[in-house]
């Protein structure tokens, strides 16, 4: 079942340690088949080198196990809420990468200080509000996803233009049209978070990049008038 999606999700999970985005088993990737509404995700606590396309887990959007003998990632409910909230998303990544997680632990948005950030994220990367004690005690992982959706809805953000979020006191989630793009966005988010920290250290009062520069750099890579790269 879903052999090609399994292969994509397996390769994306294996890429997390290869790209320096995880330690131990601190991260997971999923992918969705929109036609069937089925999600392939990493099994919980399994080492990346032990993963195979066959031992990934398949669940439906209600979290019911469809195929697999292992327990799905403990973050599965968060992934499912994001897939339901963001219909254009085809793959999701969660890590505890150092710099992005450090920003998440401050509870602050990640400012767009320059063009490297603007090439991939159309403005600041939002940080969610903290979950309440009641939300943590009841359906914690699902509420993590609904709080992300809330942040995008209340701010009027397009999740495909800002393909990532910082969950307060937790860490980053990124997404894309497929699992590979979600991993690429996780790597970019980690690097721009590192750059932003260095910027703050050099100049604590540094101002974000002006809107016209952000607009130029984002639009030259995205949208109908993009001209970066080859046709």
pLDDT, tens only, 79-105: 999 999 999 999 999 999 999 999 999
Given the residues 119, 122, 140, 158, select the one marked as catalytic: 119
For the chain, the domain total comes to 1
Query: Is 76 domain-assigned?
Result: yes
Give the predicted TM-score (pTM) of the model. 0.96
Q: Which residues constitute the domain of residue 73? A: 3-219
Query: Is 229 domain-assigned?
Result: no
Query: Is 227 domain-assigned?
Result: no
Known catalytic residue at 205: no
pLDDT at 230: 87
Query: Is 225 domain-assigned?
Result: no
Given the residues 60, 140, 211, 228, select the one marked as catalytic: 228
Query: Is 48 domain-assigned?
Result: yes
Query: Is 231 domain-assigned?
Result: no
Query: Is 16 domain-assigned?
Result: yes
Query: Is 69 domain-assigned?
Result: yes
> Which CATH number belongs to the domain containing residue 80 in this structure?
3.40.225.10
Span 22-26, mean pLDDT?
96
Lowest-confidence pick of 7-11, 69-73, 139-143, 226-230: 226-230
Known catalytic residue at 119: yes
Quote the mean pLDDT of the chain. 97
3-state secondary structure the chain: CCHHHHHHHHHHHHHHHHCCCCCCCCEEEEEEECCCCEEEECECCCCHHHCCHHHCEEEECCCCEEECCCCECCCHHHHHHHHHHCCCCCEEEEECCHHHHHHHHHCCCECCCCHHHHCCCCCCECECCCCCHHHHHCCHHHHHHHHHHHHHHHHCCCCCCCCEEEECCCEEEEEECCHHHHHHHHHHHHHHHHHHHHHHHHCCCCCCCCHHHHHHHHHCCCCCCCCCCCC
């Amino acid at each position: 079942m879903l052999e090609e999606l399994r292969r994509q999700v397996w390769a994306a999970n294996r890429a997390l340690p290869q790209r320096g985005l995880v330690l131990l088993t601190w991260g997971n990737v999923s992918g969705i088949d929109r036609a069937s509404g089925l999600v392939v995700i990493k099994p919980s606590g399994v080492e990346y080198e032990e993963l195979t396309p066959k031992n990934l887990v398949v669940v439906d959007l209600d979290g019911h196990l469809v195929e697999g003998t292992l327990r799905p990632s403990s973050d599965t409910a968060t992934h499912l809420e994001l897939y339901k909230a963001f219909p254009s998303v085809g793959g999701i990544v969660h890590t505890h990468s150092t710099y992005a997680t450090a920003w998440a632990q401050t509870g602050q948005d990640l400012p767009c200080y320059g063009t490297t950030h603007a090439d991939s994220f159309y403005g600041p990367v939002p940080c969610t509000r903290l979950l309440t004690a009641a939300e943590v005690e009841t359906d914690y992982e699902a509420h993590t996803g609904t709080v992300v959706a809330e942040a995008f809805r209340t701010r009027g953000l397009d999740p495909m233009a800002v393909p990532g979020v910082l969950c307060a006191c937790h860490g980053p989630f990124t997404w894309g049209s497929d699992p590979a793009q979600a991993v690429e966005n996780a790597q970019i988010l980690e690097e721009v978070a590192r750059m932003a920290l260095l910027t703050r250290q050099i100049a604590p009062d540094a101002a974000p990049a002006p809107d016209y520069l952000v607009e130029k750099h984002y639009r030259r890579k995205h949208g109908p008038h993009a001209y970066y790269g080859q046709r």
